[in-house]
Amino acid sequence: MIKGFRGTSLVDYPEKIASVIYTYGCNFRCPYCYNIELIRREYYRELTDISEEEVLAKLLERKNFIQGVVISGGEPTIWDRKLRFFMERIKYELDLPIKLDTNGSKPDLLENLFKDNLIDFLALDFKTSLKRYEELGGKAEIIKETLSLLKNYAEKVEIRITLYPPLVTPEDFEEMLPYLQGFTRVALQKYLPEKNLSGKGVSPYSEEESLYFLEKLKNFFPELKIYNRL
């Protein structure tokens, strides 16, 4: 399940020093994904498996320094019960807050993890307008269900939108905006063309073009906490 570990990060868990755990495999195929080593089978097969015991030992060593743990990927939720068991060990053996990064494709699992207090913070990557999720391997109704569920935990959720031009056009963005109602934090992120799954040749939005999306979001939700990572 685990193919990567970063001992210290200042940017992955808002307002916390954290260690980051990377699971491999994903049920989506987003062209702009930069963690290709964790997505494509021919790459992650070459990476060494890291045991849960090894990761827990590393976390224990850092327990007096780090303030939380991030589980990212890939897509962690494809590991289902194995992920849950691992999160339980982090929570109950080490008593560390957990942030989960997800594409939102497993709403039932997320609901159970929240109900059992295993998620302290969650980042959802909102990819594009719902009608286009099939292009990535997702299903609109499932993402809609996830967005609805997460509004019950809005204070613990950050919605992230990567401005990848072919998937987040101004028209797509307009359709995404109503689904942000009820959330408290949204981050706009720049697409990085240097390394990605299949987005070669696609240029990111210019600074001026990116500001259009930022201003649109501000105008639509004046009270929203917007994190500009452009």
pLDDT digits over 6-61, tens only?
999 999 999 999 999 999 999 999 999 989 999 999 999 999 999 999 999 999 99
pLDDT digits over 146-162, tens only?
999 999 999 999 999 99
C-alpha 95/C-alpha 84 separation (Å) is 15
Looking at the predicted structure, is the pLDDT value of residue 116 above 80? Answer: yes
Instruction: Give the mean model confidence (pLDDT) for residues 60-89.
Output: 97
Check residue 179 and give its pLDDT: 98
C-alpha 25/C-alpha 27 separation (Å) is 7
pLDDT band at 86 (very low <50, low <70, confident <90, very high): very high
Query: Hey, where are the domains in the chain?
Result: 2-229
Homologous superfamily assigned to 2-229: Aldolase class I (3.20.20.70)
Q: How many CA atoms lie within 13 A of 166 on its CB side?
A: 13
Looking at the predicted structure, is the pLDDT value of residue 194 above 90? Answer: no
Instruction: Give the mean model confidence (pLDDT) for residues 111-132.
Output: 98
Check residue 196 and give its pLDDT: 86
